[in-house]
Amino acid sequence: MTKLSLVYQDLKQKIDENVYHTDELLPSESKLSALYGASRDTIRKALERLRNEGYIQSQKGRGSVVINHQQYVFPVSGVISYKELMGRLSLSSVTHLEDQQQVTLPDCFKTLDPHMKSDKAYTRLVRQRVVNDEPVIIDIDYVDPKIVPSISKEVAENSLYEYFEHDLHLHIAYAKKEITVEPATALDQKLLDLPDGSMVAVVRSVTSLDDTSTFQYTESRHRADRFRFQEFARRS
Amino acid sequence: MTKLSLVYQDLKQKIDENVYHTDELLPSESKLSALYGASRDTIRKALERLRNEGYIQSQKGRGSVVINHQQYVFPVSGVISYKELMGRLSLSSVTHLEDQQQVTLPDCFKTLDPHMKSDKAYTRLVRQRVVNDEPVIIDIDYVDPKIVPSISKEVAENSLYEYFEHDLHLHIAYAKKEITVEPATALDQKLLDLPDGSMVAVVRSVTSLDDTSTFQYTESRHRADRFRFQEFARRS
DNA sequence: GAGTGGTCTAGACCACCAT
DNA sequence: TGGTGGTCTAGACCACTCC
């Protein structure tokens, strides 16, 4: 753990637990510097992260104010696994692996990754996510078999990311995402229990590692009436 | 212009114009430092911005690689005005002011701002956005009249943000946003030319100033078939 | 005038990559 | 082994807010 992350984590936790509450000023940067035994620069880097995530707003000559930040709903941005998200939201859910086979990539990822290879073989997983006995999401993943040679049913029904990072020691770095609204397919209707003519919200992502190699394409199909994405953004 | 933004802007432009192309390494931090006459720390801050926006990926011991970053489509995050966006996409569009009156806030913003005042008067604008002779978005804005006393038809049909920042000297700082998919209302059907039973993608935002005061609530209603949001995200 | 955050600098040490 | 990015420090000056 770096000193930076320690300061960042601690401040975030204290804001979450209302040790510092909304509309209040944090201690000044020099006070935090003394408190944590870190240089002002290190403190400032921690504060910058909190600013970017919507925890605080800094004002020249005054200090850093705690913002009434959102309870998490479903973040658009953030490269986070379904399992991690369920944990943060304190929800429990069940995942069913519906299908696994070798295929080539569908064209629907072309807008996200114009240079994708459409002749290369990928491992395709179809998983259904059930919350409170209701199916709400279908995840269709395409994983590069050169990087991830095999995926067991247990892994698929628990967490791909845990497996990738913990067991395979892959360093997931970033993703490009896209949200659209589309007519439900026959598969959607079957697995999400939808009537004919329904719409679904589709989140497609292309995920890359540290070394910029793209290794996973995901299509996440949500029941439209359960879809709610939230986001914090700063004016640049 | 600070030195930091100069370096950042220049590097960004050079990546956009393929002076540095995809999968290539940027000059090292110490070389950039010499090139721009700036300290390594200033260079690093500029590179960090580029990392966060999906322009580069840095690798310890190697350097910073240019990532094949996305052509802009429609960013989810980012506090950006419709006019600015049309400029970036090189699209031209026409805005019609459909209605303006004093009202109280509707409840639909409660999930974004639980502490909103539902008894306070706001200026409500209804605007229709037309691209290529087709209506694609309805924007419904609620603006705090204590901060923005009046809005002319010219301003409403050009750009609210230009007016807020340029003329009123307001410092727009951040926004919370939410995306949902909802049935089209009668107004949607009329202004977006939609058949009965259609769905629309709705982006609601709550926008705040420098001093953390909330001054604008926006409901942006998109034709579902024209809705495509893109986003870059990093694993934290 | 005292205190605050914003910008910028110069220097140090480390872990990692390439050769 | 030399060069790279990652972390951390100490100090300087500025613009701003608040009293």
- pLDDT, tens digit (0-9, with 9 covering 90-100), for B38-91: 999 999 999 999 999 999 999 999 999 999 877 667 776 777 888 888 888 888
Give the Cα separation of B164 and B169 in Å (integer): 6
Contact residues, chain B, for A224 at CB < 8 Å? 181, 199
Provide, rounded to the nearest whole percent, the portion of chain A with pLDDT above 90.
86
* CATH number of the domain where residue A17 is located: 1.10.10.10
| pLDDT attached to residue B72 | 67
Which of A59, A45, A34 is CA-nearest to residue A4? A45
What is chain B's mean pLDDT, rounded? Answer: 94
List % helix, strand, coil for chain A (3-state, nearest 5): 30, 35, 35
Q: Is the residue at B232 inside a domain? A: no
Nearest nucleotide to B44 by CA–C1' distance? D5
Element holding A47 (H helix, E strand): helix A40-52
Angle between helices B29-36 and B40-52 (to 10 degrees): 110
Output DSSP code: residue B11.
H
Q: Is the residue at B101 inside a domain? A: yes
Which of A140, A139, A141, A103 is CA-nearest to residue A122? A103
Element holding A126 (H helix, E strand): strand A121-131
Residue A163 has pLDDT above 70, yes or no: yes
Phi then psi for residue B11, to 5 deg, are -65, -45
Instruction: Please tell me which residue lies nearest to nucleotide D2, judged from CA to C1'.
Output: B61
Contact residues, chain B, for A232 at CB < 8 Å? 77, 174-177
Same domain, yes or no, for B11 and B87?
no
- pLDDT digit string (tens) for A206-229? 999 999 999 999 999 999 998 999
Same domain, yes or no, for B87 and B50?
no
Least confident residue range of A70-79, B161-170, B220-229: A70-79
Interface test with A, best of B174, B200, B208, B222 (most A CBs within 10 A): B174
Amino acid at A137: I
3-state secondary structure of A223: strand
Determine, for residues B232 and A201 on separate chains, whether the beta-carbon distance falls below 8 Å: no
| pLDDT attached to residue A72 | 67
Residue B15 has pLDDT above 80, yes or no: yes
* CATH number of the domain where residue B151 is located: 3.40.1410.10
Give the Cα separation of B45 and B5 in Å (integer): 9
Domain that holds residue B55: 3-66
Task: Identify the closest residue of chain B to A54 by CA–CA distance.
Answer: B174
Determine, for residues B65 and A225 on separate chains, whether the beta-carbon distance falls below 8 Å: no
Question: What average pLDDT does range B164-172 have in this prediction?
Answer: 94
Residue B193 has pLDDT above 80, yes or no: yes
Contact residues, chain A, for B208 at CB < 8 Å? 57, 67
Same domain, yes or no, for A61 and A118?
no
**Cα distance from B225 to chain A (closest Cα, Å)?**
7
Token readout for A35 is 């408190």
Element holding B83 (H helix, E strand): helix B82-88
What is chain A's mean pLDDT, rounded? Answer: 94
- Whether A209 and B229 have beta carbons less than 8 Å apart is answered as no
